[in-house]
Amino acid sequence: MRLGPFVAAALALGAALPAAAQIRLPAGPGVEQVYARCRTCHDLQYVVDGKGLLPDQWRAVLASMKDYSLTLPEDERERILHYLTTYLGPHPPPAAPADGSETHAADGRAVYQASCAACHGAQGRGQPGFYPPLAGNPDLWKDGRLPILVVLHGLAGPIEVAGARYDSAMPPFGHLSDEQIAAVIGYVRSAWGGAPAGRAPEPITPEAVARQRGRAMTAAEVHAYRAQAQ
Ligand code: HEC
Ligand code: HEC
């Protein structure tokens, strides 16, 4: 009986986790930067709870994230601030009508430039010590599931790519549609060279993404999966 509240709390937490991973922000310019930059330390619940803050208050929030060691290039900071004050401010514009753009937007290059290039670079070369390269990275071909899991659920923990060590975290991109994720993985696999010799490429389909989406994995669990992927 005395364990009652603990069990209830654990159940509530367990129920809240997948929901938090699926938080969707209102569409608008800059939203991709928020998804990319504001989920490495906490989920987007904090950001959504800030809805209605005044511009100066959002500015102060970003300043305090800096104290927690979030570093942003100036142009990105401005873009994020503009997004937060416009779409999560006291008077947000009405939500844009659904125009099916999610399915139309399954252009891998466009998804890459909007969601991945900030860290992995426009040419997929990454940034030494911080972001691993995707160009010529054999891990993209290791096992059909690995790149899907990384994009859906993120990746956290030490890894080695092309002889260099990285020990950082990539946020999850589960807000992208199955079509967008399949397209962006197809893009990074083909844009800067194809499969390494001897690899029979297994195409990534939206259906394959949908199958992995239901797995409530953490970025650390994807790291453990990566360690044993062939
Ligand atoms: C480097 C880690 C880190 C990153 C990246 C980060 N935050 Fe935070 N954030 C924190 C910490 C730590 C807290 C405080 C958590 C607590 O008090 O429980 C926090 C709390 C918040 C809060 C709650 C109010 C507050 O000020 O405590 C908001 C809103 C917030 N973050 C917004 C953002 C936004 C927007 C971004 C993206 C631009 C972002 N965070 C990125 C670390 C981070
Ligand atoms: C906020 C920066 C950031 C963004 C944006 C980002 N990544 Fe990453 N990515 C990382 C980091 C950091 C790692 C390495 C994580 C670690 O050290 O465990 C990584 C690792 C990866 C890996 C695994 C590489 C390997 O060799 O195992 C893949 C695949 C990947 N990212 C693809 C993508 C794709 C596709 C996108 C866009 C949808 C994207 N990333 C967006 C930071 C980012």
- Say yes or no: CB of residue 66 within 6 Å of ligand 1: no
Q: Which of 131, 179, 212, 228 to mutate to test the pocket of ligand 2 (most atoms within 8 A of CB)?
A: 131
- Say yes or no: CB of residue 168 within 6 Å of ligand 1: no
**Amino acid code (one letter) for 228:** Q
pLDDT > 70? residue 113: yes
Q: Hunting for tokens 């899907």 — which residue is that?
A: 148
Give the whole-angstrom CA distance, residue 45 versus residue 183: 28
The tokens describing 123, both together, are 């040419």
Query: Is there a contact between 24 and 175 (Cβ–Cβ < 8 Å)?
Result: yes
Q: How confident is the model at residue 27 (pLDDT cuts 50, 70, 90)?
A: confident
Q: pLDDT for 146-201, tens place per residue?
A: 999 999 999 999 999 989 999 999 999 999 999 999 999 999 998 998 777 777 66
Query: Is there a contact between 134 and 188 (Cβ–Cβ < 8 Å)?
Result: yes
Report CA dihedral (126, 132, 138, 143) to the nearest 10 degrees.
-120
Say which range, 126-130, 193-197, 224-228, has the weakest mean pLDDT.
Answer: 193-197
Q: How far is the CA of 157 from the centre of ligand 2 (A)?
A: 12
| Average pLDDT score, the chain | 85
The per-residue pLDDT for 216 is 85
Top mean-pLDDT range of 9-18, 54-63, 104-113: 54-63
Nearest Cα residue to atom 22 of ligand 2: 150
- Say yes or no: CB of residue 120 within 6 Å of ligand 2: yes
CA 84 and chain centroid, separation: 18
Average of per-residue pLDDT across 129-150: 92
Ligand 2 atom nearest residue 188's Cα:
35
pLDDT > 70? residue 127: yes
Q: How far is the CA of 7 from the centre of ligand 2 (A)?
A: 35
Give the whole-angstrom CA distance, residue 26 versus residue 205: 27
- Say yes or no: CB of residue 204 within 6 Å of ligand 2: no
Q: How far is the CA of 86 from the centre of ligand 2 (A)?
A: 28
- Say yes or no: CB of residue 170 within 6 Å of ligand 2: yes
- Say yes or no: CB of residue 50 within 6 Å of ligand 1: yes
The tokens describing 142, both together, are 């290791």
Q: Which ligand is nearest to the CA of 171?
A: 2
Give the whole-angstrom CA distance, residue 145 versus residue 215: 12
- Dihedral of alpha carbons 114, 54, 19, 1, sign: positive
Q: How far is the CA of 65 from the centre of ligand 1 (A)?
A: 5
Give the whole-angstrom CA distance, residue 229 versus residue 223: 10
Give the whole-angstrom CA distance, residue 230 versus residue 79: 40
Give the whole-angstrom CA distance, residue 106 versus residue 176: 10
